[in-house]
Structure 1
Amino acid sequence: MIDFQSGYILRPVNPAFVYFSLFCALLLNLLPIGNYSWVPDWLIICIVFWNIHQHKYVGVITAFILGLLMDVHNADLLGIHAFSYSLVAYLAISWHRRIVALAILTQALHLIPIFLLVSLFPVLAHWLLSGEVYWWALSGSIQALLEAMLWPLVTRILLSPQRRPIDVDHNRPI
């Protein structure tokens, strides 16, 4: 895979690193800091990133299982996060060729609708099922914007093990 921003060829990703990063994102989501709009959903950022860059390791099924875990953790309706995570994983996989070719800031702008979908889908589901709108939950759009602003940092961190060194050592074949 080529890093279009730097022009360097990336090393193959280690699947253990992919699953370790998903596990760390899950642990960050499980921290007892509350469900505030200023707390990003680390798991969805990581799921979207790996679905865009390495969708053969993280797919819709993985996103669905992680969504079920988040439903159980939040004591929410079973399947709300699972459906939204799997829908977002599908959208990220279908948009991955378009997103990878863009600059980092443009990627973040293109991913705002995906992050908005995840943050506002539970509000829509509760409204359809109960008939009540939780207006305070619409502050999830702040969460989506925060996740989009974190996208360049997350991209830098998660692609760092794959970047080739700039100085070429002629004694190494790779």
Structure 2
Amino acid sequence: MFSNNGFIIFLTLLIALMASITPMPLSVDAFRPDWVLIVLVYWCLALPNKINIFTAWVMGFILDVLLGSVLGVHACAMALSVYIVVVNFQKIRNFSVWQQALIIGVLSAQYHLVVFWLQRFLSDVVFLPNYLYPVITTIVLWPWVFLLLRRVRRHFRIE
């Protein structure tokens, strides 16, 4: 029914955007995982010909609008992270899920450091260790998100 039209991919990305802006208690908000990055990386590994750097840039731009940050900051960081995945998708696919989780952690750290660097360049932002807390939760959640999205992809026969 939805096999090749990308509706399910769009829906998963929309859910990731909603999870990125859902209110959380302040004590836990610093650990909010990079939902959009995780979902984009999965789809780039699964379907590198359909989900690419342009998709990542658009999702990052939408995230900029939703978070109220300077336009292009998250878009640039997201596109750079997804570029690394798209270039190396065949290598990353061959790793186990836990090894992939560590790679996703490095990508998440790189994403946050690029966002910090761009915000530092554009405004007066001070680096705090809190910027890298989401890396921990992103690493922990990757295997579960990977298995869930793989099940969704196989159920709807998305190719």
For the superposition of Structure 1 and Structure 2, which TM-score range results when normalised by the shorter chain? Answer: 0.7 to 0.9
Give the percent of matched residue pairs that are identical in Structure 1 and Structure 2.
24
Alignment coverage as a number of residue pairs? 151
Q: SS where residue 93 of structure 1 aligns?
A: helix
CA distance in 2, matches of 1:80, 1:16: 27
Deviates more, 1:145-154 or 1:31-40: 31-40
Paired residue for 1:109, among 102, 109, 126? 102
Alignment of 1:35-114 (within 5 A): 36-114=29-107
Q: SS where residue 32 of structure 2 aligns?
A: coil
Two-structure CA RMSD over aligned residues (Å): 2.1
Q: SS where residue 32 of structure 1 aligns?
A: coil
Shift of 1:135: 3.0
Deviations 1:60-91 (A, max 9, x none): 11111111111111111111001011111111
1:144 pairs with 2:139 = no
Unpaired runs of 5+ residues, structure 1, are 1-11, 165-174
Q: SS where residue 47 of structure 1 aligns?
A: helix
Shift of 1:133: 4.4
Q: Rg: which structure is higher?
A: 1
Give the TM-score of the pair, scaled to structure 2.
0.84
Shift of 1:120: 2.0
1:156 pairs with 2:125 = no
Name the counterpart of 1:134. 126
Deviates more, 1:63-72 or 1:25-34: 25-34
Shift of 1:93: 0.5
Paired residue for 2:6, among 1, 15, 19? 15
Deviations 1:30-49 (A, max 9, x none): 22337832111211110111
Paired residue for 1:32, among 7, 13, 23? 23
Structure 1 pair 67–163 and aligned structure 2 pair: CA distance change class (3 A): closer
Unpaired runs of 5+ residues, structure 2, are none
CA distance in 2, matches of 1:163, 1:127: 42
Q: Please list every run of at least 4 consecutive aligned residues from structure 1 whose deviation after the TM superposition is greater than 6 angstroms.
A: none
Structure with greater contact order relative to length (CA < 8 Å, sep ≥ 6): 2
Q: State the AA in 1 paired with 2:92.
A: I
